Structure 1
């Protein structure tokens, strides 16, 4: 059997979880992310328990809150401290990727769509004197914008 094995590139030698710069040294990003996430998660639990949201057994309530928020808090802390260039498989310049160009075109077109639809909708409501609650109107604007971006992004993706 003749297998074609490629040699590992420099990208493959980078650590899976990335590193952060700390002065002149580079430390694993998890060394900061885990304690920071645990601290933020504990603070959230303390705030919830202090405001009476911990239930009849505050210690159990705090433990549940910490258990539910620990993972996301560690994740957010990791994203905040990791040096992107140290991640295995990370694109060197993600802002120049095909997907980012698709997204840029989709969002710029969606702005035009949103302005047009909201302008026509506002004019229609003004002439018909129909009153719409603010929450519904703002939700509609948000849904129009999000829907337009999604449709335009998929269209850009199909075009290639």
Structure 2
């Protein structure tokens, strides 16, 4: 980043060699995505029997999250005031990486054991995937969370 560029609270979006305030892109883009979501709700029949109020409800509810998403996509981190130069070099990032790698190993181990056990169970034994898959997801969350907390406490 050159010396003459200033950092601002909300940052800029980079387009070629020029810069535009990131909010000048994010807010109209979010409103457009919200309107597209409202139109999609009408076309899908989710807007109910009164399509115009349904459109507005969907558009208003989707506009802010869409604007935030647009902002996160277009903002240049180098133009944000107080942004770290290399956020991936932090201690917390190391904890996250180690916890993610360990929880993936746990997941592979548990799924391997479960596949082996299910291979030897008689075919008439029902396995409800609507319960099994969320259980695997909860196991992943728990494994990652526990590993992260332990690594954080160790320092």
Instruction: Using structure 2 for the length normalisation, give the TM-score.
Output: 0.88
- Does the CA-based 8 Å contact 1:102-1:153 persist in structure 2? yes
The structure 1 segments of at least 4 consecutive aligned residues displaced by more than 4 Å after TM superposition are none
Segment drifting more, 23-32 vs 100-109: 23-32
Asked if 1:152 corresponds to 2:147, the answer is: yes
Separation (CA, whole Å) in 2 of partners of 1:139 and 1:50: 31
Matched ranges for 1:116-131 at <5 A: 116-129=109-122, 130-131=125-126
Unaligned runs of 5+ in 1: 1-9
Matches for 1:49-68 after TM superposition, within 5 Å: 49-68=42-61
Question: What is the CA–CA distance in structure 2 between the aligned matches of 1:147 and 1:121, rounded to whole Å?
Answer: 18
CA distance in 2, matches of 1:27, 1:86: 11
User: 1:77 maps to what in 2?
Assistant: 70
How many residue pairs get matched?
Answer: 149
Contact 1:125 1:131 in 2 (8 A): no
Q: Please list every run of 5 or more consecutive structure 2 residues that lacks an aligned counterpart in the other structure.
A: none
Tell whether the 8 Å contact from 1:20 to 1:81 is kept in structure 2 after alignment: yes
Deviations 1:115-146 (Å, cap 9, x if unpaired)?
22222223233334343123323222222222
Q: Which residue of 1 aligns with 2:22?
A: 29
CA distance in 2, matches of 1:51, 1:127: 44
Distance 2:114 2:138 in 1: 14
Q: Say whether residues 1:140 and 2:119 are aligned partners.
A: no
- Taking the aligned partners of 2:120 and 2:36, their CA distance within structure 1 comes to 52
